[in-house]
Structure 1
């Protein structure tokens, strides 16, 4: 279900990320240029502390192990999935959590979600993530509330 991203995936991932519905719930909402994306892609794929994974050729999961705790983010092919969006979203989160605590061997994992993105927050709760803090962040020149959710495991 999850596989390492390849350079051939770069433009597809950009198209998914630039979909208006994805941008609307992201911490960076402008349309990302191909040059900006190429620079990010090169930095992310050449850093062993970051993992870009493709889920069933319909979404991307990004793990960033540089922080404490490590963080993750994801987005889906909103345009291509249509009515299959919610089931795919649930399978992606399940696979991502399994990967983080399995293959990556993490003990904790966190992520940022806009407080207004209640669907994602509900999905995270369903998969064992708990809100640990809220804070303000400037997005599009204005303050927005961000929720940090985190999940840990006992070993």
Structure 2
């Protein structure tokens, strides 16, 4: 009789736990991709939303408020170069802030939905569920 180390067997419960953890990691990555993937504003401007761009936008608003920068502000948007007024920069900053908040709210809401589901979560379509949660968050703050 061969020596089999049963402690090395992977149980169905272990597989489900690993699959669930992977689904949560996929959700976090989806939120990050959406958060940093850019934002199209209603006026046709396309804004970069990388973490660096978020910081630059926030810093520019702060510097305008402190009188350290005067308008127009030369800004490279995802849609091209623009000379922006202080009001436009402030609108962009608000839109980016709302976008980031919606991304995190959507992730939290979807994580709650995942937690309520049994098993490995293999049939869950994160893109669709996240999109719905993002849209709900956006309605909440509009």
TM range (shorter): under 0.3
Q: Which has the higher helix share?
A: 2
- TM-score for both structures, normalised by structure 1: 0.22
Bigger Rg, which one: 2
Q: Which has the higher strand share?
A: 1
Higher relative contact order structure (alpha carbons within 8 Å, sequence separation ≥ 6) = 2
